């Protein structure tokens, strides 16, 4: 059920256009990151995930769209991959592009898995599209489903800042998502965070890895 303006927008033509515009194979995805940040997504991932022993563990991406990030992880040797996605068009496209990745329809504020089911839950450019009034519900679900790690790559700002998105308001916000997580869940510890500045403007993205304290 469509429950807010953001969801209805992503379920419509705007969302379909995004999906068509942002479908990349792993090599294309790496090249995009090199153009934007001077480093491939493969190398970013390696800097955060190497040595964690997650290759055979359950990993969930919340808001996977067509599975760009999951396909890259699969190419890197991660085998037990899941994704949830709101948009049926993206799911069908993902199923035609992926093999051995479990992608189902669900929303970020109602993840249909048991508590602690995944060893790691992650987002990539998804929390930025959740309205500030709804973000706590999404963080709660990500936290609930993760047994150990929460990984993210999101636009960064010191404070919540709305960004005009392709001529539209009420669709994109940047903030300090690490702080949101850690303020809400005191048992999370920050393992690593790196800021990546775009090569062609002053905007910054943050990649971060959080872990539940034992």
pLDDT tens-digit profile of 83-140?
999 999 999 999 999 999 999 999 999 999 999 999 999 999 999 999 999 999 999 9
Q: Where are the domains of the chain?
A: 5-212
Q: For the chain, give the mean pLDDT.
A: 95
CB atoms within 10 A of CB 27: 12
pLDDT at 4: 80
* 29-65 pLDDT per residue, tens: 999 999 999 999 999 999 999 999 999 999 999 999 9
Q: What is the mean pLDDT of residues 139-143?
A: 99
Query: The tokens 């990539």 sit on which residue?
Result: 124
**φ and ψ of 31, to 5 deg:** -65, -35
Helical axes 13-21 vs 88-97, angle rounded to 10° = 20
- CATH for 5-212? 3.40.50.150
CA atoms of 114 and 145, how far apart (whole Å): 6
Element housing 141 (H / E):
helix 135-145
Task: Provide mean pLDDT across the span 143-152.
Answer: 99
Residues of the chain with pLDDT > 70: what percent? Answer: 99
168 phi/psi in degrees, rounded to 5: -120, 145
pLDDT-derived band at 1 (thresholds 50, 70, 90) equals very low
Share of the chain above pLDDT 90, in %: 88
pLDDT tier at 158 (50, 70, 90 boundaries)?
A: very high
The C-alpha atoms of residue 118 and residue 144 are separated, in whole angstroms, by 9
- Is residue 3 over pLDDT 70? no
Beta bridge partners of 40: none
Examine the pLDDT at 23 and tell me if it is beyond 80.
Answer: yes
Residue 199 confidence class, pLDDT cut points 50, 70, 90: very high
- Between the two ends of the chain, the Cα-to-Cα distance in Å is 37
Query: How many other C-beta atoms lie within 10 A of the C-beta of residue 105?
Result: 12
């Amino acid at each position: 059920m469509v429950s807010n303006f953001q969801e209805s927008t992503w379920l419509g033509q705007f969302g379909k256009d995004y999906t068509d515009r942002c479908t990349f194979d792993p090599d294309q995805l790496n090249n995009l990151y090199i153009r934007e940040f001077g480093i491939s997504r493969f190398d970013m991932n390696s800097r955060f995930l190497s040595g964690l022993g997650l290759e055979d563990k359950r990993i969930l991406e919340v808001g996977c769209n067509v599975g760009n990030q999951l396909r890259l992880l699969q190419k890197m040797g991660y085998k037990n991959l899941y994704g949830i996605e709101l948009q049926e068009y993206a799911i069908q496209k993902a199923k035609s592009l992926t093999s051995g990745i479990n992608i189902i329809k669900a929303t970020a504020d109602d993840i249909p898995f048991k508590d602690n089911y995944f060893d790691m839950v992650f987002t990539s450019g998804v929390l930025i599209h959740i309205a500030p009034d709804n973000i706590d519900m999404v963080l709660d679900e990500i936290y609930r489903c993760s047994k150990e790690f929460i990984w993210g790559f999101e636009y960064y700002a010191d404070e919540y800042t709305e960004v005009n998105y392709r001529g539209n308001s009420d669709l994109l916000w940047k903030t300090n998502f690490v702080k949101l997580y850690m303020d809400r869940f005191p048992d999370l510890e920050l393992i690593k965070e790196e800021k990546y500045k775009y090569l062609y403007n002053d905007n910054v993205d943050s990649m971060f890895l959080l872990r539940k304290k034992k």
